[in-house]
């Protein structure tokens, strides 16, 4: 059994990741692959309970370290119970956010000591890093406007202010610069078709597959 590939999508608020995940799943399935889509924080029963604690309530509800620990607790559940079994079974896993979000939001956004996040990462994730990470980039104001129009609740982070969101945008771009083999920045300002084409090209070229 060939192990599945692990693809993550990252970026700020309102970047259009969900729409693109659905389109990528269809394209991969049309080329004969079995695909699981999932998300963080969440993705497992325990992880979804932790998600409720993180995405609702007052913006100052948690200390940055508490947020990082909650995200990594949810991530461990997700990895052990969902992601690793799927990859072992040959399923491709597409995950809406993963560990780069902790580095961007808690590290760059909240200014948490990034070495602590790297240590947590080694402890919880170890070697199971994504094969490919697509970082959706767009101006903060445009993303927050899109997310606000969507108005799905779960808006604790959307309420954190422009400075916070600009720091995490820069953080994601720096992560992409530090990990060029794994990461590809996707310009998320275009329409759905243009972004889908960029995603398609990145997946095909970075993973060396025909799509
Ligand atoms: P979503 O709205 O994209 O589903 O993600 C929920 C929020 O959680 C989003 O604002 C980003 C935030 N988040 C973190 O702050 N740290 C993390 O590790 C993850 C995975 C998400």
pTM beyond 0.95: the answer is yes
10 Å CB burial of residue 25 (0-12, 13-18, 19+) is middle
User: In this structure, are residues 45 and 132 in contact, taking their beta carbons and an 8 Å threshold?
Assistant: no
Read off the pLDDT of residues 160-171 as tens digits, 9 standing for 90 and up: 999 999 999 999
With the most atoms of ligand 1 within 8 angstroms of its CB, the residue from 50, 97, 114, 150 to mutate is 97
Q: Which CATH class is domain 6-207?
A: alpha beta
Tell me the mean pLDDT in the region 123-148.
95
173 pLDDT more than 90 = yes
Residue ranges per structural domain of the chain: 6-207
With the most atoms of ligand 1 within 8 angstroms of its CB, the residue from 101, 104, 172 to mutate is 101
150 pLDDT more than 80 = no
Per-residue pLDDT at 153:
81
Q: Which residues neighbour 193 within 8 Å (Cβ) at sequence distance 6 or greater?
A: none
Per-residue pLDDT at 149:
80
120 pLDDT more than 80 = yes
CA of 195 from ligand 1 middle (Å) equals 21
Pairing of strands 183-187, 6-11: unpaired
Q: Other C-beta atoms within 10 Å of 183: how many?
A: 23
Compare 211 and 63 and report the one with higher pLDDT: 63
């Amino acid at each position: 059994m060939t192990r599945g590939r692990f693809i993550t999508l990252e970026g700020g608020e309102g970047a259009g990741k969900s729409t693109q995940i659905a389109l990528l799943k269809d394209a991969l399935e049309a080329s004969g692959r079995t695909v699981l889509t999932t998300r963080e924080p969440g993705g497992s029963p325990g992880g979804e309970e932790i998600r409720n604690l993180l995405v609702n309530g007052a913006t100052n509800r948690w200390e940055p370290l508490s947020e990082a620990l909650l995200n990594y607790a949810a991530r461990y559940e997700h990895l052990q119970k969902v992601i690793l079994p799927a990859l072992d079974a040959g399923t491709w896993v597409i995950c809406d956010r993963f560990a780069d979000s902790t580095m961007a939001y808690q590290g760059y956004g909240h200014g948490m000591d990034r070495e602590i996040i790297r240590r947590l990462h080694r402890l919880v994730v170890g070697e199971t890093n994504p094969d490919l990470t697509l970082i959706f980039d767009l101006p903060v104001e445009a993303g927050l406007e899109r997310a606000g129009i969507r108005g799905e609740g779960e808006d604790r982070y959307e309420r954190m202010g422009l400075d916070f969101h600009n720091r995490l945008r820069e953080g994601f771009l720096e992560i992409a610069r530090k990990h060029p083999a794994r990461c590809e920045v996707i310009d998320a300002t275009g329409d759905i078709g243009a972004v889908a084409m960029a995603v398609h090209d990145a997946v095909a070229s970075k993973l060396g597959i025909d799509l």
